[in-house]
């Protein structure tokens, strides 16, 4: 049986003593974990790298909430290249490399990026909520400069809160399966400072943001649904409705994906906090939620590509610059209804609700 010991460097397993930095999985499972994380890293670096390149090409046009999507891509990209390779190498080594120093490095870095990603998605949800229900506040306060402040604040708060374990409030220890490091959730039972940090981490920095994301996105979808259902007109009004639905669904999928990916890990961590018997749980019970949570770094670029026409067009232009033969396969967007004074033919249609008169901002391609 495995006993977790956050203060020492060894655990008792049956009649033998093993390092807490040794893998508790079978060698074949270690290899599987390593290749799974490697796949996540490759897909994330490719997808989010394309998002960052396209955003750089459009840097002079970027305004408003586009910056939040770029910030989210930066979080996913840097987390995968700065920290996950250590977990991959440890999986192939069947033990955590570097022991305590690298464990703190990995746990601190992943927690900073995880919090920053959560804060960014929360900010996206709340900004969309204000745009939908209180457009005046959105127009006055949420311009490009203030969005940049939101991005900086998300990094600052994440870095400050994640650094508390360095000063004795909580600590970073190996996961129960030994191939990753995180907050010592079970230290809730050891001291007041550790209990305070663990409870605040779960409630204020996990549960509250998730509730804000879910409530705001559900209300947005509810209003958009009733708005489109009540429309009796056609033409431009219908086009605007469809554009808003597409935009709302894109943000909803981003938020839903994040919550879904992290929910199993949050549930396991919750059990690990309040039930001392959870330390006797099989290590495999922690592996799958942890790997599933890492999938949150992968899917956002695919969501952008699916819902965002301008993102697809910019990606085609990028591919044509590398493969000139693709230049012959040009794609035009034909107007469904001709506008008075304009020819009926292929021309780009740019549709945007409310932000059209305010700042022209939004996610990549929202303009």
Q: Considering just the CA atoms, what is the radius of gyration of the chain in Å?
A: 23
pLDDT band, residue 279 (cuts 50/70/90): low
Confidence check: pLDDT of 90 > 70: yes
Which range is least confidently modeled, 18-27, 93-102, 138-147, 230-239? 230-239
Which is higher by pLDDT, 254 or 283?
A: 254
In this structure, what are the phi and psi dihedrals at residue 95, rounded to the nearest 5 degrees? -165, 155
Q: In terms of pTM, does the model score above 0.95?
A: no
> 173 has which bridge partners?
182
Q: Which two tokens stand for residue 168?
A: 């004795």
Q: What is the pLDDT of residues 230-276, one digit of tens each?
A: 765 555 555 556 667 788 888 999 999 999 999 999 988 888 777 65
Q: Which of 46, 21, 25 is nearest to 34 (CA)?
A: 25
* The architecture CATH gives domain 10-313: Up-down Bundle (1.20)
- Rounded to whole angstroms, the Cα distance separating 157 from 162 reads 8
Spans of all domains in the chain: 10-313
In this structure, what are the phi and psi dihedrals at residue 340, rounded to the nearest 5 degrees? -60, 130
Confidence check: pLDDT of 164 > 80: yes
Q: What is the DSSP string of 144-199?
A: HHHHHHHHHHHHHHHHHHHTGGGGTSS-EEE-TTSS-EEE-GGGGGT-HHHHHHHH
Q: Sort 291 into a burial class: Cβ within 10 Å, 0-12 / 13-18 / 19+.
A: middle
Give the three-state DSSP class for 336: coil
Q: What is the pLDDT of residues 299-347, one digit of tens each?
A: 999 998 898 887 888 888 888 887 776 555 544 444 444 444 444 444 4
The per-residue pLDDT for 354 is 39
Which is higher by pLDDT, 354 or 174?
A: 174
In this structure, what are the phi and psi dihedrals at residue 352, rounded to the nearest 5 degrees? -160, 135
């Amino acid at each position: 049986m495995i006993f977790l010991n956050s203060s020492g460097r060894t655990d008792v397993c049956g009649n033998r003593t093993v390092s807490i930095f040794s893998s508790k999985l079978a060698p074949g499972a270690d290899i599987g974990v390593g290749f799974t994380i490697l796949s996540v890293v490759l897909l994330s670096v490719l997808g989010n790298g394309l998002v960052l390149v396209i955003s750089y090409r459009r840097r002079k046009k970027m305004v408003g909430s586009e910056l939040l999507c770029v910030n989210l891509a930066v979080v996913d990209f840097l987390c995968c290249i700065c920290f996950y390779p250590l977990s991959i190498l440890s999986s192939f080594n069947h033990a955590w490399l570097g022991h305590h120093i690298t464990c703190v490095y990995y746990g601190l870095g992943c927690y900073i990026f995880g919090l920053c990603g959560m804060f960014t998605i929360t900010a996206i949800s709340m900004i969309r909520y204000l745009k939908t229900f209180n457009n005046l506040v959105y127009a006055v306060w949420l311009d490009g400069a203030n969005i940049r402040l939101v991005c900086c604040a998300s990094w600052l708060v994440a870095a400050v809160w994640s650094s508390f374990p360095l000063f004795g409030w909580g600590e970073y220890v190996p996961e129960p399966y030994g191939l990753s490091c995180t907050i010592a959730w079970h230290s809730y039972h050891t001291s007041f400072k550790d209990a305070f940090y663990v409870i605040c981490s779960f409630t204020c920095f996990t549960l509250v943001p998730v509730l804000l994301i879910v409530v705001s996105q559900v209300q947005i979808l509810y209003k958009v649904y009733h708005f489109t259902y009540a429309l009796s007109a056609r033409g431009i009004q219908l086009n605007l409705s469809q554009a808003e639905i597409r935009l709302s669904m894109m943000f909803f999928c981003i938020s839903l994906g994040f919550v879904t990916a992290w929910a199993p890990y949050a549930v396991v961590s919750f059990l690990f906090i309040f039930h001392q018997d959870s330390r006797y749980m099989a290590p495999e019970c922690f592996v799958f939620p942890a790997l599933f949570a890492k999938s949150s770094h992968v899917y956002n670029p695919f969501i952008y590509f699916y819902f965002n026409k301008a993102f697809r067009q910019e990606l085609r232009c990028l591919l044509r610059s590398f493969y000139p033969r693709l230049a012959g396969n040009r794609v035009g967007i034909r107007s469904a209804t001709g506008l008075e004074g304009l020819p009926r033919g292929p021309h780009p249609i740019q549709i945007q609700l409310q932000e059209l008169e305010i700042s022209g901002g939004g996610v990549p391609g929202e303009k």
